Structure 1
């Protein structure tokens, strides 16, 4: 067993798997000696040769060293059982070259001093009884004058994206979901990435800001996007790795452009607000309630010491954000939202972000989880029910805050299950 790994793109393998492909042919590889990687880059089937690029086209292996030749053969499954045992036992084992050749449909050329790679295809390895054991359809071998040893292979799967998780994850219901994310800064960028990873089919991103240098210490986006609008950059950033999710960018300010955002809510299943400041959260709470949509609000309090995630649902007995904050005051706690606002004369309405980027990513990931769980519960997946409507998380040790915010040690989390009823005098929940 060598340390080399051979990458096998699917568009090359399907040439070998065709019923009219024959039983043998020539192949070529591109090689990266620094990574000890080889890429199948050319396949000859009959008299026709095919170039095999690796997606994306910019992958550096596509520009690797060329000219490494080899052979491919269609072989009995028995030979791949040998390969499996060789891989298990390690690089001190090999099989005699003459015994290997007996199981090939054609001869081998002299391997010379360096040897060469042989790729084999065992039709039927993926069917009983071999589908319950890790006997692969494709195996690779290093042929030398001393013998034949196994080479690791990595086969590009036939299906990419969340479809690979179909047996264990409710991809169909999530693929039909639309989530609006308001504010795609440090928390929102992490949440968008997580939502796409969960398999949400469509994300509407609402944020008017550009990515700047000072954002890079906390944001999921890399430096090449500096100057770009965050909503556009996130769509580009996730387009390769999360192609199952359609991302639609809107350069709206949820406060100044509330009339535009209101028009998008009819095609939205749930809203996740990760925007800085009090005003955006209250506007999202108001718009979502009036549209009959659930909303999740995520932020950090106490200079980054506490993460807070609130779920608001448009039920008759559930109040909006304002009702919930007033209930805290009425219970003798306090309204923590002024902690998000800057003092007079600072030139801005909200506090600058004070938490470290990884803590903000935790809040964003949890907010995405709460949002996804809400979508799944609504679709009837009750194994995704949450224990409450509000999650408070100690990002740093905080003591002395009253009520549900007295979390003590770092890492402590507290779910709040009680909700405040709508108030008659509430501008959101009260009658218009």
Structure 2
């Protein structure tokens, strides 16, 4: 196996701490993959002591790679940092004798062998404009030649907290979202909410994740057989540990008494269920709880994505009011049973939209919900154009407004109308 300039060394944060607090040098052991040209430090020593393992993700792909015990780490002076800066930009190398002059403890590999070196400089020099150079470097030591290679450090700043100051992470970390529906759109909503920094997501869905769900869902075949909310809890927990994802494998309609306390605790509700009946139940419960709700779905056999934001304001009508207004305007009602009484609707036909379109609508719904939360907290740059959005996925221009786009991804924003006086959801009791 050969090692060259395009290799990458991965250094866990625990190894970083050992080196920073060490006595100047030590040995390294790596897991190493030739095809991937990558090495992961899994153990190290302080000077000549026994090597101790460092914490690494057991699921990391390199944990099944070969061991490579030939490596060292060194504390170095600013001279090597400057040398590495110029060598990297010139794709250059050093003779081992010159490297050893700068790093007196450097160990030369046996003839025909090679090793990896990681170096650390406690005080980095500055080159231009007061910008310090990196204090960490990695090197390939082969024969009589030493050249810099790429190094990446897991230093605990890879999570959402790294965005603090650039995105309102602290505000969102205190928010709680109730997600009704964990299907194709709901799964995309959950991932997007976690990536925005929402602190807690309560997800309600009674269904299991099945093989026929795979082509459209964010989950993979590894989760088939689990409840959708439990599968999402594992997936979100592994990728976004700063988000608390609480799974509620229950039916919204049957278990409305359980959902009501979740509504009371939520800052906003997102409904992605594809059944008429649970959408109406979600609409009614959110209205009665005085919570804003974002309803997202795909209509017209996947031709249009629709996102309705219904705020708990006297001048904003609920879902039933929005549908009724479209009907009275002689436009269109793509949910043909919404004129039935509360709780008597039927199920949609199975969705015919492709996964990418469903994920797009889910991500937009999450963005609208997050913008609603942040605008309420004074973030003016999160102001929305209007409440309701229709976006063309496979446009059918023969449809009436607002579903009459002529080009793919055309967007129609329109305001939510006033409530009807006889609406059972909007009328105070």
TM-score (norm 2): 0.93
Q: Is the 8 A contact 1:26 1:72 kept in 2?
A: yes
Q: Does 1:32 align with 2:33?
A: yes
3-state secondary structure, aligned to 1:240: helix
Residue 421 of structure 1 corresponds to 418
Residues 10-159 of structure 1: pairs in structure 2 closer than 5 A = 10-18=13-21, 21-53=22-54, 55-90=56-91, 93-125=92-124, 133=131, 135-159=133-157
Q: Is the 8 A contact 1:54 1:61 kept in 2?
A: no
Residue 272 of structure 2 corresponds to 274
Q: Is the 8 A contact 1:304 1:354 kept in 2?
A: yes
Q: Is the 8 A contact 2:296 2:362 kept in 1?
A: yes
Distance 1:158-1:349 versus aligned 2 partners, 3 A rule: closer
Q: Is the 8 A contact 1:31 1:68 kept in 2?
A: no
3-state secondary structure, aligned to 1:271: strand
Give the deviation of 1:68 after TM superposition: 3.0
Picking from 395, 405, 408, the partner of 1:410 is 408
Q: Deviations over 1:51-93 (max 9, x none)?
A: 3445321323123211431221111122122212222222xx2
Higher alpha-carbon deviation: 26-35 or 178-187: 26-35
Aligned mates of 2:240, 2:425 — CA distance in 1: 36
Give the deviation of 1:310 after TM superposition: 0.4
Picking from 266, 289, 293, the partner of 2:291 is 293
3-state secondary structure, aligned to 2:207: coil
Q: Is the 8 A contact 1:297 1:310 kept in 2?
A: yes
Residue 359 of structure 1 corresponds to 357
3-state secondary structure, aligned to 1:405: coil
3-state secondary structure, aligned to 1:253: coil
Residues 255-404 of structure 1: pairs in structure 2 closer than 5 A = 255-338=253-336, 349-404=347-402
Distance 1:224-1:24 versus aligned 2 partners, 3 A rule: same
Q: Is the 8 A contact 1:71 1:117 kept in 2?
A: yes
Give the deviation of 1:215 after TM superposition: 0.6
Aligned mates of 1:64, 1:132 — CA distance in 2: 41
Higher alpha-carbon deviation: 48-57 or 394-403: 48-57
Q: Deviations over 1:116-175 (max 9, x none)?
A: 2221111122x8678954722211112233321111111112334210111211000110
Distance 1:107-1:397 versus aligned 2 partners, 3 A rule: closer
3-state secondary structure, aligned to 1:143: strand
In the alignment of these two chains, the number of paired residues is 421
Aligned mates of 2:351, 2:186 — CA distance in 1: 13
Give the deviation of 1:336 after TM superposition: 2.7
Give the deviation of 1:114 after TM superposition: 2.6
Residue 431 of structure 1 corresponds to 428
Q: Does 1:7 align with 2:10?
A: yes
Distance 1:175-1:414 versus aligned 2 partners, 3 A rule: same
Q: Is the 8 A contact 1:424 1:431 kept in 2?
A: no
Q: Is the 8 A contact 2:27 2:48 kept in 1?
A: no
Q: Is the 8 A contact 2:395 2:404 kept in 1?
A: no
Q: Deviations over 1:393-418 (max 9, x none)?
A: 100121122121111111111111x2
Residue 344 of structure 1 corresponds to none
Q: Deviations over 1:357-409 (max 9, x none)?
A: 11111111111111111111111111111111011110012112212111111
Residue 219 of structure 2 corresponds to 221
3-state secondary structure, aligned to 2:216: coil
TM-score (norm 1): 0.92
Aligned mates of 2:416, 2:179 — CA distance in 1: 23
Distance 1:134-1:368 versus aligned 2 partners, 3 A rule: farther
Picking from 182, 187, 195, the partner of 1:189 is 187
